[in-house]
Every structure is written in C-alpha cells, then in structure tokens.
A and B are shown apart, each in its own frame.
Chain A
Amino acid sequence: MKNLLKYRDLLWQLALRDIKLQYQRPFLGFLWMLIIPFSTAIIYKILFSDFFRISSKNYPFFIHLITALLPWNYFASSVQRANRCILESRNIVNRIRVPLYLLPAAAVLVNLINFLPTLIILFGFLIGFKVQISAMIIFLPFVILIHSIMTLGISFAVAGLQVIYRDVEYVVQIALMTIFFLTPSVYTFDEIAGRVSPALIKIYMLNPFTGILNLYRAVLIKGYVGDLSGYGTFLNMVINPLLWGAVFILAGYAIFKACEKKFFDFINI
C-alpha cells in the first residue's frame, strides 16, 4: 500500500479507462449516471409511498429514498465491478507486472467519480423540497471517506475471491440484496422499530450499511437523528461504521493478498 502514491498515474489511467468505456459510446454519455439512480428513486417513491403509504415524517419520502439510493448505488456497483475486475483484465494480469490491488481500487474510484456529481443533484433536490439542511454537513467528506474505505475493503475481498471461487459472484448478488433490505432505505426506521423486539433492533443496527446510511442522512437532514427513536447514539452512528471500515479494509486487503498468490493457477481457466 506504500506505493499507492507511486502508482497514482496508473490508478488514474485505469479509472479513466473504465469511465471512457462506460460513457464514450452512449449518446447520453455521463448523463446516464444521473438518470439511473433518480429514475429508480421515482419508481420506489411511487411503489412504497403512493401504494404502500409509507411516509417519512419531517421530510419528503423522495428525499428519504435518494439519500439511501445514491450511496447504495456507489457501494453496490463498486462491489459488482470489483467482483469481475481481475478476470476482465486478464490482458493486464497475464502480461505485465503491476500491483494488482490497483484494479479493484480503480473499480471503486470509478464509482466514486460517478457518485460525486450525483451529490450535486441531491443538493438541488434538498433545496427544491425545502428540506432543512443540517449544520453537520461539514462532516460529509468524512462520511464519504468512511463509506469509501468500507467499499474498498469489501471490493478487495470479492475481487480476490472471485478468481478462485467463481461462486462468489452469485453470493455477492444475494448478500447485496439482503443488506439492502436490512437498511432503512425503501422504508423508514420507525416501521421496523415499532414492530421488532429491541434485541433484534440492536442487531439490525450492526449492519454496516445501516450505520453509513444513517450518517449520510444525519449530516444532510436536520433533525434526522431525533427520528431514530433513541437508537441514534454515538456508538451506533459513528463508532459502528468506523469499526466496520477498519475491519473491512484490513481483512479485505489480507484476503486479496492471500488470493493473489494463487491467481496464476486459476485466472485462465
């Protein structure tokens, strides 16, 4: 990891490659990165808010949705891209000596680059819906940093494991879906807190993505912490994601390094 600085040109070139491949040919180009999450949000809005009558109290449900979907999209597409990145870059892995951790790192970087502009649109909506923005907004970069570290760690792990165990791809799909529905994204936290025993809620709060999601909302929406019926403690909100971040990045990198030794036996079959 020490030589990350040395390879920043290469990391940038790899990320640039992916971005170009994504947006060079389609007519709408980069716009797709904005269209997809917001159109998903509109569908969920119609489904959950208008049909199922789920509502968030102090701010529009649409804001509730996009504050979840944008970070989620960043996380999920990073992991999915990282999952394939080694196998898809056979013509690099087989041919040249580069630190291979750069490939999953580039996959995360690409999605970070995709993610940041959508935040600007998000601010547009926040202002448009007249949502009171929390003063904690200054901590937003830190939240993105913790989120990115967490994402990077998991990306390392799945990128390495996929080469050796090709089942990982399917496990990842199921895991992503499970984690997504175990976060207060398409529903509100009240819905869960009112119906489930407190012990289960404690476990629910352990979900790393619940922590990150709450952090995003806490720094964006004023008064969100108050909506968490007493579960918005410092431990749940800050320590939990920080710890998960540290665990993921260390374990993920270790897993990647362990798998890397076996790559050449598996990558071409």
Chain B
Amino acid sequence: MEAIRLNNVGRKFRKFINTEVPSGTDDFPRGARHADDFWALRNVYMNIAQKEIVACIGRNGSGKTTLLNIIAGTLPPSEGEVALSGRVSALLTLGAGFQDEFTGRENVYLNGSLLGLSKTEIEKRFGSILEFSELGDFINAPLGTYSSGMKMRLGFSIAVHNDFEILLTDEIIAVGDMYFQKKCFQKMTEFKRQGKAMLIATQDMELVRRFCDRAYLFEDGQVLSSGKAGETVEQYEKLLNKKKILSENSRLKMVRETKRWATDIPEWGKSEGTGEVLIKKIACLGRWGMETDSLTPAQKLTIRVYFEAKEAIDNFHFGVAIFREDGVYCYGPNTRIDGLALNRIGRGRGYFDLKIKEPLLCPGQYYISVAVWDEKEVFAYDYHKGKCRLEIKGSNPSGQLLCLPGSWEGQRADLDADTEPVNLYLSDKWEGQGERAGIQLGIIRFLNNYGSEDSCFVTGRDFKIKIDCNIADTVDINGFILWLGIYRSDGVYCCGKAKKISSRGALTEVLVFPKLKLLPGGYRASLCVFDARKKALISFTHGLAAFNMISDKQDHGTIYLDHLWSWHIPKGALS
C-alpha cells in the first residue's frame, strides 16, 4: 500500500521585486505590484509506500521544505495532486500557536488542539509529553521564560505524541543536547519499527545512509534523481562539489536520443494486445470536458481512455503517445516513467485521463496511441496505435512543430505568422551563407540558466540564444526580419521566432526560452535575415550551431508537456 502519492505537484510563488522608485516618493512598495511567478517546485512525482523511510536531499532552496509543507497541507500546491493514506504528523515547524504569555501547560493544550487532539486526549497524554520533554517544574512557568532549546523540546514532545501514520521531518532531529538527540533518534527508530512511513529532509548524509531506504535528490525545484539512499547521496555529494553534476565530456555521453519517430505508421488504426484489458474508447476532451476532435493551440487537453478489464491484473501501467501525422513523435508519457505505482485492477470498467494543461503543439493533424502495458513494458494488454485523431486548429504554413513560450529580450509580442519566412527554402543540408549583401551573421551562442555559454542543457531550465549580426549602413532594412529557428538534428522544424530589424550596425539579440522543455537529444539552430516585402531570403546559416539537451526524464518524444494523470479503475480482489 502506498502512503504518499504525488502526481505532478508544483508550487508557484509570487516573487515580489521592489522596483526602484524614484527618490522623493513615499516608502510604500509600489514595485511589489510587479510580481513574477516563480516555481519553487515543479513536476514532482513521488510514491512512498507504507513502512518506507525516504529522504529528501538537496541544496538550500532546492524545494525540499516546500515539498514537505505541501504534503503536510500547510501549503496548497499550485498544480497537481497529493494523495495521502493516513494521518500526517509534520515535525517541520514545531510549536504552532505557542504563546509566550502562557505557561508550558497551557501551550500544550493550545498546540495539541491545533494538532487535532481533543481535550481529553491531551489530558491522557500530558504525563508522557511532560516526561519526554524533561521540563519538570518549568511546565508551569510562562513560555516566555524558556530558552529556545526548551521551547523546541516542548514542541517536539507534543508533536511526537500525536497520532499519525506518516511522519514528515525537516532537520529537527538536531534539537537539544546530545542526550535529547539520542532520545529523538530512538523515537524515530521506534516509529520505524511500528511501520510508519517517514519522509525526512536533511543535510545529515550519515543519517540518510544508515536510516533511509530511498532518497530523492532535489535541484532547482525538480527531482534530479532518485533511488537507493547510498547512490543518491553520492550524486548529491558530486553536485555539491562541482555545482554541475558532471563534467562536460561525461555529460555529452549522457545525451541519448529519445524515440523520435513513430515506427508503426502502417499499423495506425489497428490494435494489438493480450486482451486481459480492452480499450473501449479514446476521447479527447476540450473545454468544459466536452468530447472534441479539434482544439485551438492554447486550449488545455484531456485524453480520456475508457477500458474494460476482463480479468483482474496486477502491476500495470498506462501509456499515451502523440504523433504528428507524418510520424514525428511529439510526446509520450507513461505512468511507469512518472513513478506512479498502479498495483491492482479489478474486473470491470474504468477510465484513465491524461491532462495536459498547455499542449504546445502547433496547428496540424495529430494521432494518438494509447496502451495499457504490463509492469516492464514488455507486452501490452491492449495497444491502440494511432487510432485517435486530433486536429489543432489554425494556420501553420511553415510546418512548425511546437509553440514554445519564448520571446526576444526587450520585446513583448511575437510577430504575426505571415511575416515569418515560409519554410525558409532551407534545404535538408545543414549549410550557410552567412555573409551576403552587406549582412553578416555572427555565431549563435547558447546560454544556460546561469548565463554562461554551454552546449549541453538540462531539460526544464532557462535557456537563451544570443545572436550577433552586423548590417552595413548601406542596406535598406525596411521590412527585414531576423528569424531564428530550432530544428531537431534529424531535420524536423521545431520552433521559430522572428523579429523586425529596426537598426543597422552591429546587433546583439537574445532569445529567451524560460524553462525550455525539449526532451534529450541533439538540436540545431538556424538563423536568417529575410526580406518580408520581396519574400526573399537574404542571408542564412542553417543548422550550423548545435546543442544537446539532457534530462533524467525517460519520456519519449520531442517536448516535455506538463501533465497530470488521474484514473478511475475498478477495484476488486485479485483472482
């Protein structure tokens, strides 16, 4: 049985930046109105079984505490869902509601009732709380006269005397002196014996190695890796020492290609499988949950799959894949990669949903394959290949695959689609004519989220492309467009952004992709200057600059789309 399940959990905060207010105005922080969203935690999937002890490790600010607060319920998640089976005791922030004016005893009652204990329950436990806290007579003194260690001890004692099945702790085992610490540790071991699930955020690697079964390594609000406690600790230590987890050379070895093309286009429309589970119907749900076969690019999409289980089965997973009509693999998540344990399916009917908040796909025809797989994706119970067709409405003359959220630094809106060079007349060959008619295109540089130049990027981080070009003073730039496109290394046009050229001379332009979510593999960038009036290409370099994406995500396709699984599966005894 699982105790904690997190499904694409994320938490967004408002980052209030007090912009400079001209001197002489009031002190009121007007700048606070300009708030940016900042994701402290994103795309976290987690599965913790009962009796399992799991550590969260990572540097300060990597999202550990945010995660624990979300699980504890003190912080609502901005997206995704948290499912808990059992009561949670959070030793994150002890002594909620402590009042300095009150005595220790009064505070026990106040804090206890905040923790959800009734008055009689507190009365029953009071003796043992007092004993554990070792406060003695001080329990009747006002809390204001306590030392900070005493306050912590009191808070800890109340918290561990609460009823719970899931324990969350955050660095607080280091309360009090050595003796008290030892006692706390004994208490933790006792909980372990009682079979309580525990999630511990800590910097004490020795504790993680000795005490925990598994560990999750957090970095920048995302799970960087997870696995056996010892291995994850080693990775963390590498991360601490180097900031980058691996050197550039070894990272290049990590670049692996995801599945990028459908291999079974002739079989589209057919299905195969062993038949224990039969997929009855695949539906795309648009706005208001209405079934539809066409969407606009900004609309959210739900793919719902109805199935019927002929027999009860154990350990299975759901998969969905989205292809463009020519077979380009757009995105293919499954519940195994996302670490969601689906243990048992009973006989009967049910459905599962894949909700995609922003399908970043450009207008075109798409085909969807869905499957119910066995545990290891060796055989499918039922696999419907390309059976469901989805149209994204709109015009897309250049055949872009993705509408990536990106913008030129210093410019708000994108240009209209018709000013974009249609297909660019760029050939399959990567080549360039960078100097022509007084225009000189410089090198394309790729910058990572720290702002330094790199050629290898982690999926889901900020990504910038910096372009230099030089336009001679004699050139008439009226109607000239600067365009930058990202191609997959196999030549599929992913995304392009255009900008009007407004001045001559040396130009430096920066194209910013916040949280670029291209999946691992090789990519290339092309740059051109285009005359929109004559529809003529002036100068270009096509695919001569390359970069790689790496990720620990196993998802197939080209782009990682934020998604949420949910399901309604028939429950029933295993036959």
Contacts and interface: CB of A to CB of B under 8 A. Distances in A.
Interface of A: 9-10, 13-14, 17, 20-21, 24-25, 89, 91-92, 94-98, 261, 264-265, 269
B98 A91 contact: yes
B96 A10 contact: no
A96 B110 contact: no
B110 A13 contact: yes
Interface string B84-98: 000000101101111
A9 B92 contact: no
B93 A9 contact: no
A13 B109 contact: yes
Contacts of A92: 96-97, 114
Interface string B110-136: 100111101100000000000000000
A188 B113 CA distance: 47
Contacts of A13: 109-110, 113-114
A13 B14 CA distance: 33
Given A92-B114, A95-B92, A264 B102 contact: no
Interface stretch (B73-81, B301-309, B337-345): B73-81
Contacts of B96: 91-92, 95-96
Given A21-B101, A264-B75, A264-B76, A96 B32 contact: no
A14 to B, nearest CB: 8
B72 interface: yes
Contacts of B16: 269
Nearest to B117: A9
Nearest to B115: A96
A96 B97 contact: yes
Contacts of B98: 91
A97 B92 CA distance: 12
Contact of B101 (A10, A25, A96, A269): A25
15 contacts: A9-B113, A13-B113, A17-B99, A17-B102, A91-B98, A92-B97, A94-B93, A95-B74, A95-B93, A95-B95, A96-B96, A96-B97, A265-B14, A269-B16, A269-B32
B116 to A, nearest CB: 8
A102 to B, nearest CB: 10
Given A92-B97, A94-B74, 16 more contacts: A9-B118, A10-B113, A10-B114, A13-B109, A14-B110, A17-B97, A17-B99, A89-B97, A91-B97, A95-B96, A96-B115, A264-B13, A264-B75, A264-B76, A265-B13, A265-B35
B562 interface: no
Contacts of A91: 95-98
**Which of B13, B95, B110, B115 has the most C-beta atoms of chain A within 10 angstroms of its own C-beta?**
B110
Contacts of A269: 16, 32
B76 A261 contact: yes
Contact of A97 (B14, B74, B119): B74
A50 B16 CA distance: 56
A97 B73 contact: yes
Contacts of B113: 9-10, 13
A264 B74 CA distance: 9
Nearest to A260: B76
A150 B52 CA distance: 50
Interface string B246-283: 00000000000000000000000000000000000000
